[in-house]
């Protein structure tokens, strides 16, 4: 009916006019008896229109006007009535549609007043401060399909379809970006919500803009914040952590050199970033920690890893040490191993464990130009027992698709999947050759694999005998990363068969991934403590090394 003149009657259910509004009101009638069609329409109204005062919420009106299709972003246009004559009959009301479950088709409710009577789970706050919108979901959290099913399979497609059905945007009924949330329908504490928090009483107009269905709120919802969890405890007397530091760059190492290539943009940001990372590692209290996204600036006194260890020791000497994996080439260049801007690292408590032999690195194939160079080091507990080989890893990320060659373009697992698969295969081959030359088969592959649990790089390693520590520890629904509102694991811990008998526990500390970005060192809500010290949650494993004391290197390799 685009371009035609029509006349409708109904009640104004929401008023989104004004400088920051959507430029109109919503009109709804009692219905036409067809549950498959909407009973509402958007009426465009300007502040200077002569019928502005007649189109207030609750007014029962007749509107004669022309049908147009408004471009509200995305491929679907919004059917709109541009009024030419308005007549008011007094006040009225319409029944609010209550929903407990997501409908199979949102379109039947488009433009209508809707109240969600079930709790909604906060999936992401990424659009809240800029666009006034929050991603939520029915029936709990949204899971990355590739965390639970092989990409490209019917099972993965079913999870993706279910996610699409359950997701909904809650919007604040305002147009434009970066408008103060204090002037919106959102309660003040909305910006501090963690993912996984719940919202009840969401009520407004079901709208379709910018390519997605959204509920334009005009009633403040009730918020129930997910509390911040304490640092996890795991049983065992040898503790191993893994932690992506989200680009720890320390400038020139002497207080200057900011902004850096990545990470902190000022000395103040760097000091807060470092304090948050130190607070995280100290709270985990590991004997050994595998670290990712350290600045690749060598191992001298001004390097990022030296600065981190100095901070862990409180700047006055202490028990923390780092593994120096530098070779002659990197001593000359001040970088390495590898040519990437970032690298992996290993730090440890010298009063609890000691290194045995030299570290080993793998610089071949994709390692160096794409995936970061893996680092292996054998450690021996001061209390006795065989060596534990810790292998820190950081595979090529899923981004940077423009540079990816044909075989590495997105096939459902993000870009560079073929590179990650090759990295996993080469890593397994390398470790089979005992690169640390200590003869122990008590080994753990740990770090940021940039692959979810059901993706091929992880399958390559598990098919070679490596065991998922979280599955072995029977941890229910582990995740350590949130992307586009969906949770999953990018960081993993894989044990050699001989090591599994010594595992006593595994945990993820949800100190980061669920936190809003503004809680980080560069955010508007910068806070002390470990919260949002990174975008990845750290992992923690506990081993019983008392039971390993009778294991010799030769018997360890026999399993």
Q: How far apart are CA 281 and CA 270, in angstroms?
A: 16
Q: Quick one: residue 542, left, alpha or beta (phi over 0 = left, psi -120 to 50 = alpha)?
A: beta
Half-sphere exposure of 465 (CA within 13 A, CB side): 14
CB 270 within 8 A of CB 258: yes
Would you say the CATH fold of 97-224 matches that of 5-91? yes
The CATH homologous superfamily to which domain 238-557 belongs is Endonuclease/exonuclease/phosphatase (3.60.10.10)
336 C-beta neighbours (distance < 10 Å), count: 24
CB 250 within 8 A of CB 258: no
Task: Say whether 269 sits in a helix, a strand or coil.
Answer: helix
Long-range contacts (CB closer than 8 Å, 24 or more residues apart) made by 150-154: 150/454, 150/455, 150/456, 150/459, 151/411, 151/412, 151/413, 151/454, 151/455, 152/411, 152/412
Q: Please name the residue ranges forming H helices in 314-435.
A: 328-333, 417-432
Could you list the pLDDT tens digit for every one of the 559 residues in the chain?
A: 999 999 999 999 999 998 888 999 999 999 988 989 999 999 999 888 998 899 999 999 999 999 999 998 888 889 999 999 999 999 999 999 999 999 999 999 999 999 999 999 999 999 999 999 999 999 999 999 999 999 999 999 999 999 999 999 999 999 988 888 888 999 999 999 999 999 999 999 999 999 999 999 999 999 999 999 999 999 999 999 999 999 999 999 999 999 999 999 999 999 999 999 999 999 999 999 999 999 999 999 999 999 999 999 997 789 999 999 986 666 666 777 888 999 999 999 999 999 999 999 999 999 999 999 999 999 999 988 899 999 999 999 999 888 888 788 888 899 999 999 999 999 999 999 999 999 999 999 999 999 999 999 999 999 999 999 999 999 999 999 999 999 999 999 999 999 999 999 999 999 999 999 999 999 867 677 999 999 999 999 999 998 787 665 444 433 4
pLDDT of residue 403: 85
pLDDT of residue 559: 44
154 C-beta neighbours (distance < 10 Å), count: 9
Segments making up each domain of the chain, as ranges: 5-91, 97-224, 238-557
What CATH architecture is 97-224? Beta Barrel (2.40)
CB 57 within 8 A of CB 45: no
CB 260 within 8 A of CB 249: yes
Q: How far apart are CA 518 and CA 129, in angstroms?
A: 10
Q: How far apart are CA 290 and CA 343, in angstroms?
A: 11
The residues with which 115 forms a beta bridge, in sequence order, are 98, 203
What CATH architecture is 5-91? Beta Barrel (2.40)
pTM reported for the whole predicted model = 0.94
201 C-beta neighbours (distance < 10 Å), count: 15
């Amino acid at each position: 009916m685009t371009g035609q003149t029509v006349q409708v009657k109904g009640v104004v259910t929401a008023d989104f006019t004004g400088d920051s509004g959507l430029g109109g009101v919503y009109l709804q009638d009692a219905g036409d008896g067809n549950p498959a069609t909407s009973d509402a329409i958007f009426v465009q109204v300007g502040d200077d229109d002569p019928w502005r005062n007649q189109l207030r919420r609750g007014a029962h009106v007749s509107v004669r006007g022309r049908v147009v299709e408004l471009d509200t972003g995305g491929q679907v246009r919004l059917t709109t009535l541009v009024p030419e004559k308005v007549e008011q009959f007094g006040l009225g009301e319409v029944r609010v549609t209550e929903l407990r479950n997501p409908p199979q088709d949102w379109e039947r409710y488009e433009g209508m007043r809707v109240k969600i009577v079930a709790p909604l789970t906060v999936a992401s706050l990424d659009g809240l401060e800029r666009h006034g919108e929050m991603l939520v979901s029915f029936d709990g959290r949204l899971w990355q399909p590739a965390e639970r099913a092989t990409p490209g399979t019917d099972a993965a497609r079913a999870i993706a379809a279910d996610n699409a059905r359950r997701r909904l945007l809650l919007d604040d009924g305002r147009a434009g970006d970066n408008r103060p949330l204090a002037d919106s329908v959102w309660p003040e504490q909305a910006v501090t919500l963690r993912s996984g928090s719940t919202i009840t009483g969401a009520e407004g107009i079901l709208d379709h803009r910018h390519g997605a269905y959204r509920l334009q709120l005009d009633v403040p919802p009730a918020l129930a914040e997910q509390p911040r969890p304490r640092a996890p405890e795991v049983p065992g007397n040898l503790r191993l952590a893994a932690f992506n530091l989200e680009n720890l760059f320390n400038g020139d190492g002497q207080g200057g050199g900011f902004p850096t290539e990545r990470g902190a943009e000022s000395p103040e940001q760097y000091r807060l970033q470092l304090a948050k990372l130190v607070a995280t590692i100290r709270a985990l209290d590991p004997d050994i920690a595998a670290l990712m996204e350290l600045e690749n600036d060598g191992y001298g006194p001004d390097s990022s890893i030296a600065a981190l260890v100095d901070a862990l020791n409180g700047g006055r000497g202490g028990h923390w040490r780092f593994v120096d994996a530098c070779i002659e080439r990197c001593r000359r260049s001040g970088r390495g191993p590898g040519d990437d801007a970032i690298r992996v690292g290993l730090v440890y408590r010298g009063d609890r464990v000691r290194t045995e032999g030299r570290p080993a690195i793998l610089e071949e194939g994709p390692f160096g130009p794409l995936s970061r160079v893996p680092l292996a080091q054998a450690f021996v507990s001061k209390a006795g027992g065989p060596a534990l080989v810790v292998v820190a890893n950081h595979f090529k990320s899923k981004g940077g698709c423009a540079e990816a060659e044909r075989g590495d373009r997105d096939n459902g697992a993000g870009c560079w999947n073929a590179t990650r698969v090759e990295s996993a295969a080469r890593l397994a081959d390398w470790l089979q050759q005992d690169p640390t030359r200590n003869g122990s088969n008590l080994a753990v592959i740990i770090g940021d694999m940039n692959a979810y649990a059901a993706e091929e790089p992880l399958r390559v390693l598990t098919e070679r005998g490596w065991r998922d520590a979280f599955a072995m520890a029977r941890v229910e629904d582990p995740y350590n990363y949130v992307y586009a509102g969906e949770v999953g694991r990018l960081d993993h811990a894989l044990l050699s068969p001989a090591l599994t008998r010594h595992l006593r526990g595994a945990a993820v500390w949800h100190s980061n991934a669920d936190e809003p970005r503004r809680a980080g060192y560069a955010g508007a809500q910068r806070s002390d403590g470990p919260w949002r010290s990174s975008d990845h949650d750290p992992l923690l494993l506990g081993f019983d090394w008392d039971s390993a004391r009778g294991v010799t290197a030769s018997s360890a390799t026999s399993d």
